[in-house]
Amino acid sequence: LTRGRELRIAMVGFGNVGRRFAELLPGPFARPLKAAGARPIVTGIATARHGRAIDPHGLDLRHCLRLVRAGRRLDAVHEWPDTPSTIDFVQTVPADVLVEVSPLDPIAGEPATRHVRIALRRRLHVVTANKGPVAFALGRLRGLARRQGRLFLHEGAVMDGTPVFNLVERCLPGVRVRGFRGALNSTTSHILSRMEQGVPAAQALREAQALGIAEADPAHDLEGRDAAVKGCALANALMGASVRPPSVRRRGITRITAQEVQAAARAGRRLRLIVRARRDGGAVRLRVAPEKVPLGDPLAVSGADAVLVLETDLMGEIGVIEGGGNVDQTAYALLADLVAVAGAWSREGGRTRLCG
């Protein structure tokens, strides 16, 4: 392993995903980055209620984790001119790459899309697990990244670290994705699976929240908005579509009763919240709805597992399953994308020339 040059990472968001990433970065995540020629340091962290911190020489991550876990603010370790807002932070933080892990806004994809745009304009690479920018602004952000000669990578936006975007992009050259179907929302799969076992829905939701897999506002999971945003992110990235979440036909699981779930189970079926996409003339149509899936069908996943079946022209159907999705796998998605960034960044000579 080479020691590598410093790859300066700035983070927006230090919640379940951001903190797990920060825990793993100095340990198992440092090795693949070093192999790609980079020694990662985190030069800035921005949050909503825990303040912001920038240190151009690298923050002490353990100390930052301790502060936030104790409910204290990060400002105590800030070593840079004042940044009164997250926007100021993104505009000024000394960094080579922005890791965007703020909460999903399923209505407009903001302010994450703005954070991504500002970072790309400054010629920072961007890595995100936030599906908002991918569902609402992928075409524009990809165009901006291309013009700036930077990477905009978002593997963690759907199915955490299980390769979906990178699978098609890197391993399936020339393949056209004609459609897809999947159980993509782990929270609803967990809840429906626990309801099969007789656990009340409210308790199952609390379990999903304790696992860190539920959205900050769990109504986005239950009402199918998260699944709709994921469907749009996939359709836009893999099928060249330009669909937006409000145009998705959507029904969530809020009205599903324990009796319904158990009757389906007795009939050899599992209720799951399914996303389907298909081409319809020139457009791509998306639908999110609970379906009674026969046991044995790839969509009949158990627990919080997620599954995606891609329908392609040259490769038939390809299924990808993520077993027991958790926040470690989302943190891994950030790592996988950062390794790609580190490769591009090393080839360029290891320093981002900042603009703006």
| Choices 6-14, 144-152, 241-249, 285-293 (CB under 6 A): range interacting with ligand NAP | 6-14
User: CA nearest 306: which of 110, 163, 141?
Assistant: 163
Question: Considering only residues 330, 341, 345, 352, which one is a binding residue for ligand NAP as defined by CB under 6 A?
Answer: 330
Question: Considering only residues 48, 65, 175, 320, which one is a binding residue for ligand NAP as defined by CB under 6 A?
Answer: 48
Here the tokens at position 262 are 């158990």
Which one, 11 or 36, has the nearer CB to ligand NAP? 11
Binding flag, residue 187, ligand NAP (CB under 6 A): no
Binding flag, residue 44, ligand NAP (CB under 6 A): no
Task: Please state at what angle helix 131-148 crosses helix 112-121, rounded to 10 degrees.
Answer: 10
Binding flag, residue 12, ligand NAP (CB under 6 A): yes
| Choices 101-109, 138-146, 248-256, 292-300 (CB under 6 A): range interacting with ligand NAP | 101-109
Partners of 274 in the β-ladder: 289
Binding flag, residue 237, ligand NAP (CB under 6 A): no
Task: Please state at what angle helix 186-196 crosses helix 201-211, rounded to 10 degrees.
Answer: 140
Total number of residues that touch ligand NAP (CB under 6 A): 28
- 292 carries an active-site annotation: no
**How far apart, in Å, are the Cα atoms of 310 and each of 181, 224, 240, 333?**
7, 20, 14, 20
User: What is the Cα–Cα distance from 187 to 91, expressed in whole angstroms?
Assistant: 34
Which one, 36 or 341, has the nearer CB to ligand NAP? 341
Residues 6+ apart with CB under 8 A from 233: 131, 134, 135, 138, 154, 157, 158
Question: Considering only residues 4, 7, 8, 13, which one is a binding residue for ligand NAP as defined by CB under 6 A?
Answer: 13
Element (H, E) at 213: none
Which one, 101 or 116, has the nearer CB to ligand NAP? 101
Partners of 107 in the β-ladder: none
Element (H, E) at 52: strand 52-54
Which one, 35 or 65, has the nearer CB to ligand NAP? 65
User: What is the Cα–Cα distance from 61 to 345, expressed in whole angstroms?
Assistant: 23
Binding flag, residue 86, ligand NAP (CB under 6 A): yes
Q: For ligand NAP, which residue has the nearest CB?
A: 15
**Contacts with ligand NAP, 216-235, as mask; x by CB under 6 A:** x-------------------
Nearest distance from residue 278's CB to ligand NAP, in Å? Answer: 25
Binding flag, residue 4, ligand NAP (CB under 6 A): no
Helix (H, G, I), strand (E, B) or coil at 288: strand
Binding flag, residue 324, ligand NAP (CB under 6 A): no
Q: What are phi and psi of 200, to 5 degrees?
A: -60, 145
**How many residues belong to the chain?**
356
Bridge pairing between strands 52-54 and 38-46: antiparallel
Which one, 215 or 311, has the nearer CB to ligand NAP? 215
Catalytic residue numbers read 230
User: Where do contacts with ligand NAP occur on this chain (CB under 6 A)?
Assistant: 12-18, 46-50, 86, 101-104, 111, 129-130, 156, 160, 212-213, 215-216, 327, 330
